[in-house]
Structure 1
Amino acid sequence: MSVQDDLTAVQRCLDDLARSVGRLEQHLGTGGLEMRRVRTDADHLRESVALLRESASAPGAQRRPELVTIPDTPYDDSLWIDTDDEGLGARDRRAP
């Protein structure tokens, strides 16, 4: 499946969820804290999927993160001249 197919499937499920929540509100009423939380959570899911759909369809959207190659060669020791040895203090002082 493509990303768009997956997003469409999620959207269909959210539509089913919205219908089910609507039926629950008819039976239980809309005033209870639990019902309001369920409605708010369902609305947040719809908003999140809409944002995800926008970002997935944006031109130049990066599908996978770029890999960074880390060389196996040791780092240049001159990079560490002005640093202290961790936990041992400065080079010109004795450790406690």
Structure 2
Amino acid sequence: MSLQDELTAAQRCLDDLARAVGRLEERVGTGLEIRRVRSDTEHLKESLSLLRAAAPRPPAEPRVEMVTIPEQPYDTGLWTDVDDEGLGARDRHAP
């Protein structure tokens, strides 16, 4: 699992915790203990947010630049020093 995946999983767990604390608060009331738990949950969310901001980003994929190939024929001057493949040299005859 990548670092970003781990941070996302931790964020999901904290969101679940916040919902559970909300349900507990409905059942227990707003006493000192539940306020502490809610406060701790909020601190964890803030800490994870800071950790996510400080985490190194994965390296970006290198950009692939598209090269267009022209439809016009190539300049024959590019091949003046090579033999035609399979045909031999220009000044010689095939056997």
The Cα of 1:57 is off from its aligned counterpart by 4.5
Distance in 1, Cα, partners of 2:27 & 2:56: 39
Q: Secondary structure at the match of 2:55?
A: helix
The within-5 A match list for 1:54-65 is: 54-57=53-56
Distance in 2, Cα, partners of 1:24 & 1:49: 23
Residue equivalent to 1:25: 25
Distance in 1, Cα, partners of 2:54 & 2:14: 18
Residue equivalent to 1:8: 8
Supply the RMSD in Å over aligned alpha carbons: 1.5
Tell me the matched-pair count: 58
Unaligned runs of 5+ in 1: 60-96
Displaced runs of 4 or more, over 6 A: none
The TM-score with structure 1 as length reference comes to 0.57
For the pair shown, which has the larger CA radius of gyration, 1 or 2?
2
The Cα of 1:18 is off from its aligned counterpart by 0.4
The TM-score with structure 2 as length reference comes to 0.58
Distance in 2, Cα, partners of 1:11 & 1:26: 23
Unaligned runs of 5+ in 2: 59-95
CA deviation string 1:46-86 (max 9, x = no partner): 00000000001469xxxxxxxxxxxxxxxxxxxxxxxxxxx
Identity %: 69
